[in-house]
């Protein structure tokens, strides 16, 4: 793009536009040519491209971009409930609501702003949500793109209510992969997980790395940083770091489940993998006036950058 980082105006590097369906969309760009698109519908990241213009997130060819449902792909936000075991709709309402741009957000540390193009969004409950979930909150989301192409999402949820409330949460991240049979996930070894395919029974991961031969729908508990999704086909690795998000959800619907999902093509499970930074096992309780923060950072590096025994510690965010 011909801009040097020194003269790059990061504030001006976010642009408000609309998708083909008329939904407002914010586009972030970095000086090297990477970009991210964040919809005000759901505060959902719809696209994240590297400096070569390659898409890093999966979007279904059958995705429905029409509110009120979340688009199948990108990064839908699951709040105030992950899954369908509460009183609310599956994965909560945040992904189906219209967010607004937060013009004067409370400050974040300089590291979360300097050298990044970013946008701040806010969601407050409407009288409709309050009927089903009677808790006043302010949910602030910062989405940013670093000069190295890193995507960061910072959620700050504040209780502005008179009573405590409890929530679970996930950044439901659909990664685009060459072929699911060419992918392995590292960083989950020896961890306990809840298996959604077996009534959330608890197991311990025995393998050195997680590979995929059938449907997987698990919540790995208390995962340390980083977690890596290694795509041998594309020779690239997603390195995931998180803060305030102890659990990691791993989901691939495989062939049978895919056929039952209307907005997912029958064969598309081969090209997606959800790996979510999440809070599932121990939901968060906020007292009046308290705030919770959950941060997700994803960087994509060439797999050759890491050796066979992936030295992820040397990956700089
Ligand atoms: O664990 C991930 C999961 O909860 C799966 O059980 C699966 O249903 C998926 O999310 C997608 O949910 P959605 O409501 O977006 O169709």
Tell me the torsion sign for CA atoms 33, 94, 91, 80.
positive
Give domain status of residue 312, yes or no.
no
Domain residues for the domain of 210 are 5-307
Q: pLDDT for 114-136, tens place per residue?
A: 888 999 999 999 988 888 899 99
CA 249 / ligand 1 centre spacing (Å): 10
Q: Is residue 310 predicted with pLDDT exceeding 80?
A: no
Confidence of residue 13 (pLDDT cuts 50, 70, 90): low
Q: Which residue has the tokens 């980082």?
A: 5
Distance CA 48, CA 46 (A): 7
User: What own/partner pairs with CB < 8 Å and gap ≥ 24 does 128-137 have?
Assistant: 129/93, 129/97, 132/87, 132/88, 132/93, 133/80, 133/87, 133/88, 133/93, 135/80, 135/159, 135/161, 135/163, 135/165, 136/160, 136/161, 137/80, 137/161, 137/165, 137/286
Share of the chain above pLDDT 90, in %: 76
φ/ψ bin of 10: left (φ > 0), alpha (ψ from -120 to 50), beta (otherwise): alpha
Q: pLDDT for 41-54, tens place per residue?
A: 999 999 999 999 99
Tokens of 138: 């302010």
pLDDT at 316: 64
Give domain status of residue 116, yes or no.
yes
pLDDT at 311: 64
Give domain status of residue 315, yes or no.
no
How many distinct structural domains can be found in the chain? 1
Radius of gyration of the chain (CA): 19
Peptide bond between residue 68 and the one before it cis (omega within 30 degrees of 0): yes
Tokens of 214: 């059938």
Tell the residue nearest (CA) to atom 6 of ligand 1: 217
Residues with CB under 6 A from ligand 1: 83, 90-91, 196, 217, 249, 251
Sheet order of strands, 183-186 included: 100-101, 116-123, 137-146, 151-159, 291-302, 236-243, 227-231, 183-186
CA 83 / ligand 1 centre spacing (Å): 7
- Burial degree of 232 (CB within 10 A; 0-12, 13-18, 19+): middle
Residue to probe by mutation, ligand 1, list 76, 89, 172, 256, most atoms within 8 Å of CB: 172
CA 109 / ligand 1 centre spacing (Å): 33
Distance CA 157, CA 107 (A): 14
Residue to probe by mutation, ligand 1, list 77, 81, 83, 199, most atoms within 8 Å of CB: 83
Say which residues have a Cβ less than 8 Å from residue 205's Cβ, sequence separation at least 6: 188, 189, 190, 191, 192, 193, 220
Give domain status of residue 299, yes or no.
yes
Give domain status of residue 316, yes or no.
no
CA 98 / ligand 1 centre spacing (Å): 21
| 72 known member of a binding site | yes
| CATH at 185 | 2.70.98.10
Counted residue by residue, the chain has a size of: 317
Q: Which has the higher per-residue pLDDT, 156 or 315?
A: 156
Q: pLDDT for 219-274, tens place per residue?
A: 999 999 999 999 999 999 999 999 999 999 999 999 999 999 999 999 999 999 99
Tell the residue nearest (CA) to atom 8 of ligand 1: 83
Give domain status of residue 313, yes or no.
no
Tokens of 303: 């797999």
Q: Is residue 11 predicted with pLDDT exceeding 60?
A: no
Residue to probe by mutation, ligand 1, list 73, 89, 91, 260, most atoms within 8 Å of CB: 91
| 37 known member of a binding site | no
Say which residues have a Cβ less than 8 Å from residue 73's Cβ, sequence separation at least 6: 46, 57, 58, 59, 60, 63, 174, 272
Tokens of 264: 């997912």
pTM of the model: 0.93
pLDDT at 14: 74
CA 79 / ligand 1 centre spacing (Å): 13
Give domain status of residue 278, yes or no.
yes
Give domain status of residue 266, yes or no.
yes
**Once rounded to an integer, what is the mean pLDDT over residues 25-29?**
95
Confidence of residue 2 (pLDDT cuts 50, 70, 90): very low
**Once rounded to an integer, what is the mean pLDDT over residues 52-79?**
93
């Amino acid at each position: 793009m011909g801009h040097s980082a020194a003269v790059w105006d990061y504030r001006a590097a976010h642009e408000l536009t609309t998708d083909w369906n008329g939904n407002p969309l914010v586009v972030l760009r970095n000086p090297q040519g990477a970009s991210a698109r964040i919809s005000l519908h759901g505060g959902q990241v719809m696209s994240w491209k590297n400096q070569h213009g390659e898409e890093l997130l999966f979007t279904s060819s059958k995705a429905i971009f029409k509110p009120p449902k979340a688009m199948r792909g990108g990064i839908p936000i699951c709040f105030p409930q992950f899954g369908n075991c509460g009183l609310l709709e599956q994965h909560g309402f945040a992904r189906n609501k219209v967010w607004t741009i937060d013009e004067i957000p409370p400050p974040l540390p300089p590291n979360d702003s300097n050298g990044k193009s970013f946008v701040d969004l806010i969601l407050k409950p409407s009288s409709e949500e309050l009927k089903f979930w009677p808790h006043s909150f302010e949910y602030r989301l910062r989405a940013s793109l670093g000069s190295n192409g890193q995507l960061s999402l910072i959620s700050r949820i504040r209780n502005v209510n008179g009573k405590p409330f409890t929530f679970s949460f996930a950044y439901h991240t659909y990664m685009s992969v060459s072929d699911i049979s060419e992918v392995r996930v590292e960083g989950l070894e020896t961890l306990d997980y809840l298996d959604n395919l077996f009534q959330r029974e608890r197991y311990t991961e025995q393998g050195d790395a997680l590979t995929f031969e059938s449907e997987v729908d698990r919540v790995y508990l208390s995962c340390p940083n980083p977690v890596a999704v290694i795509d041998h086909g594309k020779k690239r690795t997603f390195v995931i770091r998180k803060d305030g998000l102890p659990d990691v959800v791993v989901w691939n619907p495989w062939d049978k489940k895919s056929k039952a999902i209307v907005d997912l093509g029958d064969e598309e499970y081969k090209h997606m993998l959800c790996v979510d930074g999440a809070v599932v096992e121990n939901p968060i309780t906020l007292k009046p006036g308290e705030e919770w923060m959950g941060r997700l950072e994803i960087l994509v590096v060439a797999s050759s950058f890491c050796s066979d025994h992936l030295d992820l510690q040397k990956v700089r965010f």
